[in-house]
Structure 1
Amino acid sequence: MVVLIHSGEHSVVSSSQNDPDQSDMSFEELLQMQSDARARVCKQMTSGKKTSKPTKAMVKQQQGKKGPLEMSAKKPVPFLRQVVSVRKKVHRDPRFDDLSGEYKPEIFMKTYSFLDSIKKQEKEMVQKQLKKCRNMEQKEKLQQLLNRMTQQEQAQKKQQKLRERELSLKRQQRELAKQGKKPFFLKKSEKRKLELAEKYAELKRSGKLESFLSKKRKRNAIKDKRSLPSQKNL
């Protein structure tokens, strides 16, 4: 019997009955016999069954819910491989989203009416700074700021009057509908005429109607003069 030491463990290999008596063998023959036995043991250990390939169930068991698919480096990756889809971020603009509610100018103006008093205070502050300022460059900037604030205030008043006029027309239409009459709908040209009439009435109350009409006549005269053919073209 030959005793081999392999990987820190004792491996026992029994000699066959046909092997000669070891007591009659030389030292070189014993070494050769031991080497042959070691080779047979290594061959038996390496000639076992190959490990089976992991099945799809095993692969799924190894992967997490959102983990990437592990591919073997020994095999080429297929062209059409399965890719884990990533959810696309959807940006939401609250100005155009139905979840934010419907825009109603009346409610908006009522909710933020406190801003009008703040704007009025800011305008008065700019006017005071403009009177005290001596630097021409700074004075010009303050004047531009004051003009812009005045224009914004005028535009806001104009929009407010337009909304009030539309509300008045809607009330009239509802009253006619209650009486069983056919409601009327103004055209754009008729709305412009009403707007112009209200503007003239406002200018007349403030005493600026004559100056407005004179400026308008001058503008119309300049337009007519430009439209006339020049002497070169005659």
Structure 2
Amino acid sequence: MTKKQRQNAEGKKKVVSSGVEEDDVVEKKVYLLTNLGGEAEDLQPREHGNEAQNQSGGGAEDESGGSKEEESEGTSEEDTDDGIELQSKEHIRKELRNMSFEDIMKLQQQVGTKVFNEVAYNRKKCQEVSNKKRLNKNRPMEMSAKKPPSFLRQVIPVKKSTRRDPRFDSLSGEYKPEIFEMTYKFINDLKHREKEIIKRQLKKTKNTSQRKERLQFLLRRLETQEQARQSQEQQRERELQFKNRQRERASRGERPFFLKKCKSKSSTRPPDPQDAVSCHSHILCFYTSFVTS
């Protein structure tokens, strides 16, 4: 045989030996996982036999002492069983950490996911079956502690979204019609354009159509809005003129004249204070002349 053939044969032997070793490791793990509870079960009959010998040797003890010993022995047996199971599980987990992922997958397929999860991850579904039936019908019912929440329960209050109207909000400042007219003057231009467009559409539409009635309604509304705006502007101009006159009178040292609200609303032009003074003087002259005569 040549050197190459010898090297290939040795490599094949190593691969076969490594595969056999991996299979042996997996089989050991399977055996440990499946026979976890076997060790604890084997220990129980041995301990029971020792208990029987101890009880036969000490048969002269009282019944109360015997019952106490049985309870203590039962608790000790449970503790030893739990300790053995924990030790075996910890030992398996340590070995699983050093294993490759491929070996762990093989072991999981051979044992089963349920047993593997119970041992490796300590995952066990505890399904406690509660017997809700009463032993005697005359006994009171056991009410559950999980009470349903009341309808009028106190919930964490959610902040309401406050709606803000800029017309009545203090943050917007005081309403001044002069500034308002200056800022929104472009709206009047838009309305004037709309009015012209509606007039053109009215000429094109037929007399017996609902669209014409709608256009006429829109035209009337725009005209009334324009008339109201013009009347408001005229009233504002008159009020400004009256205020300017009162300022001039106050600067000259004359007594100011205060106009009533009813007169300011009813009259188109507020009365001049000079006219009121002249009328008052005429009345006084007429009264004095009548008295002297």
What is the TM-score normalised by the length of structure 1?
0.50
Judging by fraction of residues, say which structure has more strand: 1
Judging by fraction of residues, say which structure has more helix: 2
What is the TM-score normalised by the length of structure 2?
0.41
Larger Rg: 2
